């Protein structure tokens, strides 16, 4: 399998306000969110970033999506550098996170057309792709309903569909099933597998072990901003369950840090 994503020495430090220092229980005015992370993802695989809350998963994905800039390091997404060619990177990826919202005022139909135009999708392709995706997620019945009036699950599905208007080869999902009911979560995970079948690459972050076990071909374990392990699921688990193995790694990492 050929490499489509190459991450090299990615680091990000945030400045903490006094209030944030109190919340974090630290006297340091800076927090290293991502510390020299390197990994690769290949075409047609699902790569999972597994870690507890605050480990640096979302920050890593936001850097890959060019929403924030790394302090050090770089990543090359299908030949485009996130630091030097951010617009090209954004054209190549589909990015979905709970922090990305859709305008309540518009309908899924309008939003699909709007984001398609921003991605430069040909007018003839837009309608065919919209029909296929709307039918796949059951949005077609709600195509003319304003986002404000959609259920949470339908909003999430619309966000997912809108992030894929341009049929990207690499899809970055931050906590893809977070906040979804079981039915919608299942629809999303089934779709991710379907995308992998089409040769798409998916990079997702999660703290749900079962999701990683069900979906991911390779996993990166991230704790306190450091990528401690990055391998296939079988190699990381080495016969143990992912949950047991993760806590073993976590304890070792925390013990080492202390």
By beta-carbon proximity to another protein, the closer residue of 57 and 245 is 57
Q: How many CA atoms lie within 13 A of 183 on its CB side?
A: 5
Residue 167 binds another protein (CB under 8 A):
no
Question: Which member of 36, 43, 71, 106 binds another protein (CB under 8 A)?
Answer: 106
By beta-carbon proximity to another protein, the closer residue of 50 and 56 is 56
Residue 91 binds another protein (CB under 8 A):
yes
Residue 217 binds another protein (CB under 8 A):
no
Strands 80-81 and 72-77, bridge-based pairing: antiparallel
Residue tagged 């003839």 (tokens)? 124
Rounded CA-CA distance 185/247 in Å is 25
Q: CA 17 → CA 28, 31, 63, 109, 138, distances in Å?
A: 10, 10, 21, 41, 44
Residue 95 binds another protein (CB under 8 A):
yes
Question: Which member of 6, 31, 43, 119 binds another protein (CB under 8 A)?
Answer: 119
Instruction: Lay out the site mask for another protein across 29-68 (x = CB under 8 A, - = otherwise).
Output: ------------------------------------xxxx
Q: Which two tokens stand for residue 18?
A: 């006094």
Under rule CB under 8 A, how many of the chain's residues touch another protein? 28
Dihedrals phi, psi of 209, to nearest 5 degrees: -60, -40
Q: Which residues of 197-219 are buried (b: 16+ CB within 10 A; e: fewer)?
A: eeebbbbbbbbbeebbeebbbbb
By beta-carbon proximity to another protein, the closer residue of 48 and 94 is 94
By beta-carbon proximity to another protein, the closer residue of 18 and 101 is 101
Residue 90 binds another protein (CB under 8 A):
yes
């Amino acid at each position: 399998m050929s490499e489509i994503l190459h991450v090299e020495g990615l680091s990000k430090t945030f400045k903490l306000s006094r209030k944030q220092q109190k919340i974090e229980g630290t006297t340091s005015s800076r927090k290293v969110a991502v510390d020299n992370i390197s990994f690769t993802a290949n075409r047609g695989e699902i790569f999972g970033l597994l870690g507890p809350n605050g480990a640096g998963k979302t920050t890593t994905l936001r850097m890959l999506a060019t929403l924030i800039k790394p302090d050090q390091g770089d990543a090359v997404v299908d030949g485009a550098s996130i630091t030097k060619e951010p617009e090209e990177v954004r054209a190549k990826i589909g990015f979905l996170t709970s922090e990305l919202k859709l305008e309540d005022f518009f309908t899924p139909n309008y939003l699909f057309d709007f984001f398609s135009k921003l991605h430069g999708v040909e007018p003839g392709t837009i309608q065919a792709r919209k029909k296929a995706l709307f039918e796949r997620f059951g949005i077609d019945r709600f195509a003319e309903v304003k986002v404000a009036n959609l259920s949470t699950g339908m909003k999430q599905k619309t966000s997912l569909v809108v992030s894929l208007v341009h049929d990207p080869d690499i899809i970055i999902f931050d906590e893809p099933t977070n906040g979804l009911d079981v039915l919608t979560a299942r629809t999303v995970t089934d779709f991710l597998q379907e995308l992998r079948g089409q040769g798409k690459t998916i990079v997702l972050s999660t703290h749900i072990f079962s999701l990683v076990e069900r979906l991911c071909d390779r996993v990166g374990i991230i704790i306190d901003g450091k990528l401690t392990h990055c391998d296939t699921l079988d190699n990381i688990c080495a016969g143990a369950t992912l949950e047991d193995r993760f806590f073993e790694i976590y304890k070792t990492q925390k013990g080492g840090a202390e």
